[in-house]
């Protein structure tokens, strides 16, 4: 087993980690009306003086509150509080722990997983958790392409169900053969091939269990408009930039110490800093390097996540210029990653030369590192015959992500390096809130873009599978050898063999260069005076029920 990741690093008071795409199919808004006669609207509740909401600064509004569609970290942040998965994440070790399933085991051949459900769990609408409810959710995940349209669901980013199980129901590549209710409290998943990381993957917010009363084939968006799970919090209000959650009185576990939590979308880091100083925020997430000094000087408690994300420049391999490997190699040599990290990232951020962070212990020593070498970049461009054609380069604005703290500044630095080496760029800035990812993916003339990925569970497949496990609109990269190796690794019982296979994949990806990894960023947050502890997690499994005032 890999060494567990630590829960957090406390930097202390005096010292010093998405995506629209699929989820944009249904954007959650306060204006959404009832989906059916008799459906209750979410009701704003007056805050009592003894239940003043704890306010957390998010960086963007959730795109959808259907957990099955969640692929960006801010949507996942909210869904984790409302919906619960069969298995959870241990806050101290990062390992898999019981949640809605008290116990689970697998057959010797790894093809059959059995989950024993926790007794006495109810959803926010009063319905009881039972095996039939779990089966209904799993069957819905496998038919999302039917519910929302196969063309939409098969675009990048890769839906969690496809990434984990290989495809939707009906696809030859789908490895989930069946889901069955053995009795009222027992659920069995039967696979056609082993998936060794399945327990870890089932902790993803996308596998949150919703009340069967909001699962409707005729109205798939009902889950998002009326999000009903079994989590410690229920949604009570959504207006403008605020999502307000209130503790669920009939929650099966210990009652949260904080009764009401508001997540406020503040995309600009300066706004988050200002509101924290004014006492309007209790948690300022995704600290940027330019705000670190004032936070330290004001004596704020700063917490740091272990790095578990990767920032990269993506290449559109269908572009007539970028399809030439020499051009992509030139770009890789042109970017000074060390200088980039020193200027715009928190201390502890490391240069990335592959797509899996060091914490996973699958780093390849033989991967091509593409050191900063402007002369080499210029020679490769000349050899490729690049004639100065403007290359559209997309980057997000007004956004902070776990992997991209200052997008405009990072783009400017990367663009300056590329321009100095001879590239001619045509900037394409798009606000994150304007569906940056979807807009970028739909532009067939796009040459390059800035994006990243946060790991959702402790396996290299969490990074490599969604990025390179199938041809996507992001890179238009299609390597049969990489795909086959990912399938092999998914079923390998030997951890040593699996690690070696992931290293082989890293070598192949670096040779093909569909994207240039830049950094493994450190992310952190600052606490207001009223908060004594916050549940940090490198995979962002941060449950508000564990916040302490």
Average pLDDT over residues 455-466: 91
| Whole-prediction pTM | 0.86
Q: What is the pLDDT of residue 153?
A: 56
The full set of domain ranges for the chain reads 17-27+51-262+525-546, 309-520
Give 16's pLDDT tier (boundaries 50, 70, 90).
Answer: very low
pLDDT single digits (tens) 240-286? 789 999 999 999 999 999 999 999 999 888 899 999 999 999 999 99
521 burial type by CB count under 10 A (0-12 exposed, 13-18 middle, 19+ buried): buried
Helices marked H in 6-143? 73-82, 131-141
Contact at 8 Å (CB) between 158 and 441?
Answer: no
User: What does DSSP say about strands 391-397 and 425-431: parallel, antiparallel, or unpaired?
Assistant: parallel
Contact at 8 Å (CB) between 163 and 466?
Answer: yes
DSSP 218: S
Q: What is the pLDDT of residue 502?
A: 96
Q: What is the pLDDT of residue 13?
A: 34
Contact at 8 Å (CB) between 448 and 414?
Answer: no
CATH code of the region 17-27+51-262+525-546: 3.40.190.10
Instruction: Give the mean pLDDT of the chain.
Output: 87
Give the angle subtended at the CA of 233 by the CAs of 229 and 235, to the nearest 5°: 75
Q: What is the pLDDT of residue 4?
A: 41
Q: What is the pLDDT of residue 17?
A: 33
pLDDT single digits (tens) 109-149? 999 999 999 999 999 999 999 999 999 999 999 998 888 87
Residue 517, pLDDT above cutoff 50: yes
Residue 72, pLDDT above cutoff 90: no
28-37, 84-93, 320-329, 435-444: range with lowest mean pLDDT: 28-37
For 143, how many CA atoms within 13 A lie in the half-sphere containing its CB? 14
For 64, how many CA atoms within 13 A lie in the half-sphere containing its CB? 25
Residue 35, pLDDT above cutoff 80: no
Residue 49, pLDDT above cutoff 60: no
- Residue 511 has a CB neighbour count (10 Å cut-off) of 11
Which residue from 248, 226, 271, 304 is spatially nearest to 55, judged by alpha carbons? 271
376 burial type by CB count under 10 A (0-12 exposed, 13-18 middle, 19+ buried): middle
**CA 312 to chain centroid:** 15
Q: What is the pLDDT of residue 401?
A: 87
Q: Which two tokens stand for residue 14?
A: 């005096």
Q: What is the pLDDT of residue 6?
A: 41
Average pLDDT over residues 376-388: 96
pLDDT single digits (tens) 180-235? 999 999 999 999 999 999 999 999 999 999 999 999 999 999 999 999 999 999 99
* Rounded Cα distance, 100 and 231, in Å: 10
- The reply to whether domains 17-27+51-262+525-546 and 309-520 share a CATH topology is no
Q: Sign of dihedral through CA atoms 326, 331, 336, 337? A: negative
CATH class of the domain whose range is 309-520: alpha beta
Residue 36, pLDDT above cutoff 90: no
Q: What is the pLDDT of residue 156?
A: 55
Give 21's pLDDT tier (boundaries 50, 70, 90).
Answer: very low
Q: Which residue has the tokens 């000094």?
A: 293
Average pLDDT over residues 412-438: 95
Which residue from 76, 180, 171, 101 is spatially nearest to 136, judged by alpha carbons? 180
* Rounded Cα distance, 459 and 501, in Å: 13
């Amino acid at each position: 087993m890999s060494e567990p990741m630590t829960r957090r690093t406390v930097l202390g008071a005096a010292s010093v980690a998405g995506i629209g795409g699929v989820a944009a199919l249904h954007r959650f808004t306060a204006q959404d009306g009832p989906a059916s006669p008799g459906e209750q609207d979410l009701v704003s509740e007056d805050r009592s003086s003894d239940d003043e909401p704890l306010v957390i600064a998010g960086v963007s509004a959730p795109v959808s509150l259907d957990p099955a569609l969640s692929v960006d970290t801010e949507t996942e942040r909210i869904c984790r509080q409302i919906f619960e998965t069969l298995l959870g994440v241990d806050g101290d070790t990062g390992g898999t722990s019981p949640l809605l399933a008290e116990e689970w085991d697998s057959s010797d051949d790894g093809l059959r997983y059995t989950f024993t459900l926790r007794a006495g769990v109810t959803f926010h609408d009063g319905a009881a958790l039972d095996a039939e409810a779990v089966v209904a959710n799993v069957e819905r995940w496998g038919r999302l392409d039917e519910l929302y349209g196969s063309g939409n669901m098969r675009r990048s980013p890769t839906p969690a169900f496809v990434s984990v199980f290989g495809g939707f129901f009906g696809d030859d590549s789908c490895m989930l053969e069946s889901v069955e209710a053995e009795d009222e409290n027992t659920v069995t998943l039967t696979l056609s091939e082993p998936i060794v990381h399945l327990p870890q993957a089932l902790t993803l917010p996308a596998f949150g269990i919703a009340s069967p009363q909001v699962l409707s084939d005729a109205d798939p968006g009902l889950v998002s408009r009326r999000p009903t799970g079994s989590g410690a919090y229920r949604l009570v209000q959504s207006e403008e930039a605020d999502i307000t959650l209130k503790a669920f009185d009939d929650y099966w576990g210990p009652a949260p110490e904080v009764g009401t939590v508001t997540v406020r979308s503040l995309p600009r880091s300066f706004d988050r800093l200002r509101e924290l100083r004014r006492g309007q925020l209790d948690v300022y997430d995704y600290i940027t390097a330019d705000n670190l000094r004032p936070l330290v000087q004001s004596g704020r408690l700063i917490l740091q996540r272990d790095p578990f994300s990767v920032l990269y420049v993506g290449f559109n391999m269908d572009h007539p210029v970028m399809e030439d490997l020499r051009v992509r190699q030139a770009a890789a040599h042109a970017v000074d990653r060390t200088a980039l990290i020193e200027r715009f990232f928190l201390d502890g951020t490391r240069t990335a030369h592959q797509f899996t962070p060091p914490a996973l212990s699958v780093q390849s020593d033989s991967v091509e590192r593409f050191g900063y070498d402007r002369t080499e970049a210029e020679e490769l461009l000349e050899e490729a015959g690049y004639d100065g054609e403007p290359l559209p380069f997309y980057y997000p604005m007004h956004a902070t992500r776990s992997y991209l703290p200052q997008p405009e500044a990072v783009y400017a630095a990367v663009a300056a390096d590329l321009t100095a080496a001879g590239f001619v760029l045509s900037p394409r800035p798009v606000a994150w809130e304007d569906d940056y990812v979807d807009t970028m993916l739909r532009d067939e003339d796009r040459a390059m873009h800035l994006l990243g990925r946060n790991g959702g569970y402790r396996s290299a497949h969490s990074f490599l599978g969604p990025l390179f496990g199938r041809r996507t609109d992001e890179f238009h990269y299609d390597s049969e050898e990489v795909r086959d190796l990912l399938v092999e690794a998914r079923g390998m019982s030997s951890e040593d063999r699996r690690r070696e296979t992931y290293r082989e994949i890293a070598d192949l990806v670096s040779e093909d260069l569909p994207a240039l990894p830049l950094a493994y960023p450190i992310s952190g947050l600052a606490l207001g005076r009223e908060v004594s502890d916050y549940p940090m997690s490198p995979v962002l499994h941060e449950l508000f029920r564990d916040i302490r005032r």
